[in-house]
Chains A and B, each alone.
Chain A
Amino acid sequence: DIVMTQSPDSLPVSLGERATISCRSNQSLYYSSNDKNYLSWYQQKPGQSPKLLIYWASSRQSGVPDRFSGSGSGTDFSLTISRLQAEDVAVYFCQQYYTTPYTFGQGTKLELK
């Protein structure tokens, strides 16, 4: 199975500041035939179901604010929130869909400093 490891587990950030979450896989998620990285990011607010934010490592899902961006390739990826807003407090998960089982990272809890 592909192991996904996020860091940090918890990230305190002040309002208006930048937040960056890292996600690393133990094998490459890059598929050369279509030049894509098979990685997505989700946001889960307390008491809610996960919400898809980013797919193909850097493509923003429709309706997601442009302060959210994804980057990376191969085995190292990151999710950046450029200017933190109060409604961004949540747990963020990365997921690989390169191969089954479609494993998730353990989650990063983003909180206000």
Chain B
Amino acid sequence: EVQLVESGGGVVQPGRSRRLSCAASGFTFDDYAMHWVRQRPGGGLEWLSGISWSGSTISYAGSVKGRFTISRDNANHLVFLQMNGLRPDDTAVYYCAKVFTNSGYAVGFDTWGRGTLVTVSS
């Protein structure tokens, strides 16, 4: 079974850091790009960052660029999101997502974790 499990969420004070992890199983991890998406309470989906299968290509949303860093460990089937300088408006459920490919193109995210809640509050 293809599965993603996020961890690392919790309550963190403004200005502090947190690292999220996503453990992947059930597929050939190093064949796929991986992404992070968040959802604020009662809100919509916000794409944050993506990393290619090799880790050589990385993209960020403007709202997190310079504060968040995505990385991956293909040997252990893990993807990470290092979050620095957290702000109250970073409070959200953070999802890890696997790319779905069709004819060699990435066409969306076909597997999502259950998410991990990060609450930024003093």
Q: Tell me, in angstroms, the Cα distance from A10 to B27 when the chains sit together.
A: 36
Chain A residues with Cβ below 8 Å from B11 are none
Q: Please tell me if A50 contacts chain B, counting CB pairs below 8 Å.
A: yes
Question: Are A56 and B44 in contact (CB-based, < 8 A)?
Answer: no
- A68 interface residue (CB < 8 Å to B): no
Number of contacts between A and B (CB, 8 Å)? 66
How many residues of B sit at the interface, in one of the four size bands? 20 to 34
With a cutoff of 8 Å between Cβ atoms, the chain A residues found around residue B44 in the complex are 93, 104-107
Interface window among B12-20, B74-82, B83-91, B108-116: B108-116
Q: With the chains together, A110 CA to B79 CA distance in Å?
A: 33
Instruction: Contact check, B47 vs A50: say whether CB atoms are below 8 A apart.
Output: no
Complex A-B: 6 CB contacts under 8 Å: A42-B45, A49-B113, A50-B37, A50-B109, A55-B107, A56-B107
